Amino acid sequence: MGSNFSKTLREEEIEEIESETGFTAKQITRLYNRYSNLDKANKGYLGREDFQHIPEIAINPLGERIIDAFFDQDDGDGVDQQARVNFRQFIRVLAQFRPVSSTRAGDLQLNAKAKKLKFVFDVYDLDKDEKISREDLTKVLQMMVGSNVTSDQLNSIADCTMAEIDEDKDGFISYDKFCKAMDGIKIDEKMSIRFL
């Protein structure tokens, strides 16, 4: 499908997307219409500014990190992913927020627990070095709480979190440490949106 798209999806495209994402044909059609509506200039792709006009993202303290998730993908088409998001990329990110289905189990699914954990980990990994530093953690916490806590309180939260998760005291939270810390959290339930 690349970065350009026609005004309608072909049946074989819908079937491919259904298989890849777990969305139903009806959900895909609705999401395609939403995607098309976001592309107000009819460019055939979405840019950062298109996402910034979504009210739910604009008011979310982690809005920019959520937007980043759409642009941090590689679909192998050679297009600069920092500049544009095609429909396939758009729906792949949204698929990570689908509730886990008991009939479609497996770690390869876009909405599998492992994929959801990686998504959340990447939100915290600001410099994309595959580890969360105290600085990464502090900046994301600051985004989340804004001016509701003092700098000392924020530093205390970051220090406590690092002390609890960074068992080997190397100063970083690796993906493995992060997963271990999130083991008791029902991420499948916390990171799910019901799509109509």
What mean pLDDT comes out for the span 89-118? 75
The domain in which residue 32 lies consists of 8-95
Q: Any bridge partners for residue 174, and if so which?
A: 131
Residue 1 lies in a domain: no
Do both 110 and 195 map to the same domain?
yes
What mean pLDDT comes out for the span 130-144? 95
Do both 183 and 114 map to the same domain?
yes
Report residue 2's pLDDT band, with 50, 70 and 90 as the boundaries. very low
Do both 58 and 133 map to the same domain?
no
Do both 194 and 113 map to the same domain?
yes
Structure tokens at 144: 């989340």
Angle CA 133–137–84, to nearest 5: 95
Residue 192 lies in a domain: yes
C-alpha to C-alpha distance for 2 and 95, rounded to whole angstroms: 18
Residue 3 lies in a domain: no
Instruction: Report the CATH number at residue 81.
Output: 1.10.238.10
Do both 90 and 110 map to the same domain?
no
| φ/ψ of residue 131, rounded to 5 | -155, 150
* 8 Å CB contact between 68 and 161: no
pLDDT at 47 (0 to 100): 94
Residue 170 lies in a domain: yes
pTM to 2 decimals? Answer: 0.75
